[in-house]
Structure 1
Amino acid sequence: MDRVDRVLAERIPADRGMGAILAQYMRSLAAHGEECGPAELEQLGAIALDLADACLAGRPGAADELSEEDRARALAARIDTFIGHNLGDPELSPSVVAARHGMSLRRLQLLFRERGESVAATIRRRRLERCREDLADPGQLTVPVHTVALRWGFTNASVFSRLFRETYGASPSEFRRAAALRATTGV
Structure 2
Amino acid sequence: MFDFPPLEGAAFGIAAWRREVAASFVPLDVHPLGDGPFWARSSRTDVGEVSVFRIEHSASIVARTPKLVRRSPSDLIKVSLQLEGEELVEQDGRAALLHPGDLAIYDTSRPYSLRFEGSTSLLVFTFPRGYLDIPRDELAAVTATAFPLESPLGRVVNPFFVGLAHSLTELPGANGQRLARTGLDLLMTLLSTQLQQGVPRDPRRQLLHEMLDSIDGRLEDPELSPATIASAHFISTRHLHAVFAEHGITVAGWIRERRLEHIRRDLADAALADVPIARIAARWGLVNPAHFSRLFRTTFGQSPSEYRSATALEPASSAPRPPVLADERRTASSLR
TM-score, structure 1 as length reference: 0.63
The structure that is helix-richer by fraction is 1
Larger strand fraction of residues: 2
Alpha-carbon RMSD: 3.0
Of all paired residues, the percent bearing the same amino acid is: 43
**Whole-Å separation in 1 of the counterparts to 2:296 and 2:315:** 24
How does 1:70-81 map onto structure 2 within 5 Å?
Answer: 70-81=202-213
CA offsets, 1:145-167, max 9 Å, x none?
00000000001000100000000
Mapped to 1, the partners of 2:315 and 2:296 lie a distance apart of 24
Matched residue SS, 2:274? coil
Deviation at 1:185, TM superposition (A): 6.1
Is 1:184 the counterpart of 2:314? The answer is yes
Runs of 4+ in 1 over 6 A off after TM superposition: none
1:172 corresponds to which of 300, 304, 313: 304
Aligned length: 133
CA shift at 1:184, angstroms? 2.2
Structure number with bigger Rg: 2
Report the Cα distance in structure 2 between the residues aligned to 1:76 and 1:118, rounded to whole angstroms.
12
Deviation at 1:97, TM superposition (A): 0.6
C-alpha separation in 2, matches of 1:92 and 1:141: 27
SS of match in other structure, 1:184: coil
2:277 aligns with 145
Amino acid at match of 1:167: T
Counterpart check, 1:92 vs 2:224: yes
Equivalent residue runs for 1:1-187 within 5 Å: 37=178, 38=181, 66-67=200-201, 70-180=202-312, 183-184=313-314
Distance across 1 between alignment mates of 2:276 and 2:267: 9
SS of residue in 1 equivalent to 2:235: coil
Q: CA deviation at 1:95?
A: 0.6
- Deviation per CA, 1:100-158, whole angstroms, max 9, x where unpaired? 00000000001111111110000000000000000011111100000000000001000
Tell me, in whole angstroms, the C-alpha distance in 1 between the residues paired with 2:228 and 2:276.
29
Letter in 1 for 2:251: V
Which letter maps to 1:93? S
| Matched AA of 1:131 | I
Amino acid at match of 2:217: H
The normalised TM-score by structure 2 is: 0.36
Higher relative contact order (CA 8 A, sep 6+): 2
The residue type equivalent to 1:155 in the other structure is V
